[in-house]
């Protein structure tokens, strides 16, 4: 099996998948001990925007070659830092005027605190150093095309081995919210070789990176990282064939896709019919066009993935998503204490909601009924058991090879 984790973009709403991941890691620790971490169980972790930041936090190594963050530490990180990432506007008429002026003349936020925090956390770590394979999409506005950063490409070409901090800043540079990000990579052995990137939020291309992760899994041989296996094998010891996917067989995947919530009733056609450019693009600092194209991108990927896994392999693909956010909760940048704690509670309540799957025809989430009816908590517990069993199987294969 190839095990994949995908995390959507969504700004402060990253608290929702962070809460889900905390539960999943706790279950893995119940099965395999207190040192178990998310990165130990997934061949590929993909994340866009805020999901890209979570991906880096879960996979960047500390001095002991273990993840910088346990899953339980991500939500407190968001609660502590989001008010500084997205500071609320000053109150009163002057504050309102300043907000409107900022919206018209530049990005809503400077990004200074976000950038400095990300650089402090990631340090000089690069893509090839992550504890498991990662995939993070961005969009290059100079080339006018998506740029997909991955640890696979980083190991092959030094020009693609960017700093994790630059990748995180680039993938989270949401248009109108945060400034675009420019950086350059160089070949240490050949100074004439360099590559410049001019990046904005990966959500404009793949707000839900599930299919990107699957695409890489189909094209790349997956070699378990020696740092996360008990028997510490040599890379040469691992047989590629059992994990080398020759064709698109969904039975060989075990996929968990985490959304950041969705509000289906935020806008009405009767209102939008009267909007001009300023309303579509600005709307008091909450541009509808950004919400719409990022959410539509995520939903289309979910529909395609569900179609790929239909039939006997449908339970190899798990999508956990909150489909009904209120206006405040659906904001990507509302960093009040009340809203951040509210998102945390949504994540917790989501665990006890009935497991739902997208209806491929309507696009709506529908509760799974009958013999497969479970809560999201039950589904994740079962998923954790499958991840633990897969890891144990790999250990047995390696030990057999070494004997």
Q: What's the pLDDT at 233?
A: 44
Q: Is the Cβ–Cβ distance between 389 and 383 less than 8 Å?
A: no
- The set of residues, in sequence order, having a beta carbon less than 8 Å from that of 325 and lying 6+ positions away, is 13, 261, 262, 263, 346
User: Alpha carbon 315 to chain centroid distance?
Assistant: 21
User: What is the predicted pLDDT for the residue at 268?
Assistant: 82
**Of 289, 264, 265, 261, which is closest to residue 275 (Cα–Cα)?**
289
For the record, the structure tokens of 223 come out as 């070699």
Position 101 scores a pLDDT of 54
Q: How far apart are the C-alpha atoms of 138 and 203, rounded to whole Å?
A: 7
Residues 6+ apart with CB under 8 A from 50: 7, 9, 10, 11, 12, 13, 14, 172, 260
Inter-residue contact 131 to 67 (CB < 8 Å): yes
pLDDT, position 231: 44
Structural tokens at position 148:
């997909």
- Quote the pLDDT of residue 10: 93
Q: Which residues of 122-154 are buried (b: 16+ CB within 10 A; e: fewer)?
A: beebbbbebbbbbbbbbbbbeeeeebbbbbbbb
Q: Residue 178 carries which DSSP code? A: S
Residue found under tokens 């995520």: 298
pLDDT at 401: 72
* pLDDT for the residue numbered 221: 73
CA triple 153-154-158, angle to 5 deg: 120
Count of C-beta atoms within a 10 Å radius of residue 219: 9
Specify the pLDDT at position 235: 44
- Alpha-carbon distance of 335 to 348, in angstroms, equals 19
Distance CA 334, CA 339 (A): 7
Query: What is the per-residue pLDDT for 312?
Result: 58
Q: Low-confidence residues of the chain, pLDDT below 70? A: 90-105, 223-250, 264-265, 283-286, 311-314, 402-403
The pLDDT of residue 351 is: 96
pLDDT at 275: 87
| The pLDDT value given to residue 246 | 46
| CB of 313 closer than 8 Å to CB of 248 | no
In this prediction the pTM is: 0.90
Active site residues: 49, 201
C-alpha closest to that of 139 among 181, 178, 190 = 181
What is 2-226+248-402's CATH topology? Answer: Cytosolic phospholipase A2 catalytic domain (3.40.1090)
pLDDT tens-digit map of 17-61: 999 999 999 999 999 999 999 999 999 999 999 999 999 999 999
């Amino acid at each position: 099996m190839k095990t994949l984790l995908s995390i959507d973009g969504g700004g402060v709403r990253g608290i929702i998948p962070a809460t889900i991941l905390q539960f999943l890691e706790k279950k893995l620790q119940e099965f395999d001990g207190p040192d178990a971490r998310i990165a130990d169980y997934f061949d590929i972790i993909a994340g866009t925007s805020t999901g890209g930041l979570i991906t880096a936090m879960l996979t960047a190594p500390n001095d002991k070659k273990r993840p910088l963050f346990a899953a339980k530490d991500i939500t407190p990180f968001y609660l502590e830092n989001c008010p500084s990432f997205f500071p609320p506007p000053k109150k009163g008429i002057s504050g309102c005027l300043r907000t409107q002026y900022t919206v018209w003349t530049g990005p809503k936020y400077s990004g200074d605190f976000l950038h400095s925090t990300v650089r402090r956390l990631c340090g000089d770590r690069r893509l090839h150093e992550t504890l498991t394979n990662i995939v993070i999409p961005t969009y290059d506005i100079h080339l006018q095309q998506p740029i997909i950063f991955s640890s696979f490409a980083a190991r092959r070409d030094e020009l693609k081995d960017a700093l994790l901090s630059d990748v995180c800043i680039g993938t989270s540079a949401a248009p109108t919210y945060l400034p675009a990000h420019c950086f350059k990579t160089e070949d240490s052995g050949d100074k004439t070789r360099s590559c410049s990137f001019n990046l904005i939020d990966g959500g404009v291309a793949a707000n839900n990176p599930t299919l990107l992760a699957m695409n890489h899994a189909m094209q790349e041989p997956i070699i378990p990282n020696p740092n996360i296996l008990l028997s510490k094998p040599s890379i040469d010891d691992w047989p590629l064939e059992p994990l080398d996917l020759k064709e698109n067989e969904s039975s060989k995947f075990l996929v968990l896709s985490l959304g950041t919530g969705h509000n289906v009733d935020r806008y009405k056609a009767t209102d939008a019919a009267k909007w001009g450019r300023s309303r579509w693009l600005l709307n008091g600092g909450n541009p509808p066009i950004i919400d719409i194209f990022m959410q539509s991108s995520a939903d289309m990927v979910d529909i395609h993935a569900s179609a790929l896994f239909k039939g006997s392999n449908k339970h190899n693909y798990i999508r956990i998503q909150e489909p009904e956010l209120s206006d405040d909760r659906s904001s990507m940048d509302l960093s009040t204490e009340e809203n951040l704690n509210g998102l945390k509670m949504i994540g917790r309540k989501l665990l006890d909601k009935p497991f739902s799957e997208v209806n491929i025809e309507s696009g709506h989430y529908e509760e799974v009924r009958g013999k497969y009816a479970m809560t999201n908590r039950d589904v994740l517990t079962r998923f954790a058991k499958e991840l633990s069993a897969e890891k144990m199987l790999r250990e047995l294969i390696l030990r057999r090879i070494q004997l």
